[in-house]
């Protein structure tokens, strides 16, 4: 999943919001370089990605793409699903999207030290309202252009917006079937994290 979904699924506390984003910027083992709450959210981020990657509905969504987009279909599905979440936010969250996004941007701005690449991106993310802009399908063209510049073969995303437009309805159906299952999985992961933290507090030894 992409930024908005991870933020929505990873918990509302500031450290959970931060860790939900850090998951895209921090690789390798977690050995205490971040506060426990942030590292727990990074682990949940990774579990969400693994659940998404192997789920039958996301595999089905990827197989809808024409052969020339199969290599990048995972990127395209993640991006399109964030569009669907922003578009249909009120179906999945009680807090209004602008209010939620504002909390995310304030949390990032208040953090003194961010992972290096996120530190560069965060001010632009807020200034250009990346998270809220996902609601508009046309914005995905700009996002795809940015993604293509980071690929060794940028031509792999040429024409991808047209492919997403062609598949708009079936991919939307895939999202509506998949996201409630992902919400349930993430909620279970959050509950496990809270229980583990309570156990450590009760037995600090």
Domain count, the chain: 1
186-194 — which CB contacts under 8 Å span 24+ positions? 186/9, 186/10, 186/44, 186/48, 189/44, 189/47, 189/48, 190/10, 190/11, 190/44, 193/11, 193/40, 193/43, 193/44
Mean pLDDT in residue range 11-19: 96
pLDDT at 205 over 80: no
* 69-121 confidence digits (pLDDT tens): 999 999 999 999 999 999 999 999 999 999 999 999 999 999 989 999 999 99
pTM for this prediction: 0.91
What is the phi-psi region of residue 11: left when phi exceeds 0, alpha when psi lies from -120 to 50, beta otherwise? Answer: left
pLDDT at 73: 96
Q: How do residues 155-172 score in pLDDT, each as one tens digit?
A: 889 999 999 999 999 999
Mean pLDDT of the chain: 93
State the pLDDT at residue 154. 81
Q: Tell me, what's the pLDDT at 202? A: 55
Per-residue pLDDT for 186 more than 90? yes
pLDDT tens profile 20-76: 999 999 999 998 999 999 999 999 999 999 999 999 999 999 999 999 999 999 999
Mean pLDDT within 196-205: 58
Give the tokens for residue 96.
Answer: 């209004």
Q: How far apart are CA 124 and CA 122, in angstroms?
A: 5
Instruction: List the domain range (segments joined by +) for residue 46.
Output: 3-202
Contacts of 140 (CB under 8 A, 6+ apart): 79, 80, 83, 134, 161, 164
User: What integer is the mean pLDDT of 152-156?
Assistant: 85
């Amino acid at each position: 999943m992409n930024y908005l979904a991870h933020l929505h699924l990873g918990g509302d506390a500031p450290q959970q919001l931060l860790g939900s984003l850090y998951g895209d910027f921090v690789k390798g083992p977690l050995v205490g370089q971040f506060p426990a709450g942030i590292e727990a959210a990074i682990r949940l981020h990774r579990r969400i990605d693994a659940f998404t990657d192997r789920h039958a509905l996301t595999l089905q969504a990827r197989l809808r793409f024409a052969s020339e987009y199969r290599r990048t279909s995972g990127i395209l599905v993640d991006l399109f699903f964030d569009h669907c979440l922003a578009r249909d936010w009120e179906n999945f969250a009680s807090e209004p999207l602008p209010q939620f996004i504002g909390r995310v941007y304030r949390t990032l701005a208040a953090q003194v030290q961010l992972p290096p690449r996120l530190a560069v991106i965060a001010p632009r993310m807020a200034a250009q309202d990346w998270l809220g802009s996902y609601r508009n399908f046309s914005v995905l063209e700009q996002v795809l252009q940015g993604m293509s510049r980071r690929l060794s073969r940028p031509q792999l995303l040429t024409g991808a917006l047209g492919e997403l437009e062609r598949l708009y309805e079936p991919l939307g159906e895939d999202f509506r079937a998949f996201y409630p299952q992902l919400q349930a999985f993430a909620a279970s992961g959050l509950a496990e994290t809270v229980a583990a933290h309570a156990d450590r507090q009760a037995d600090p030894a």
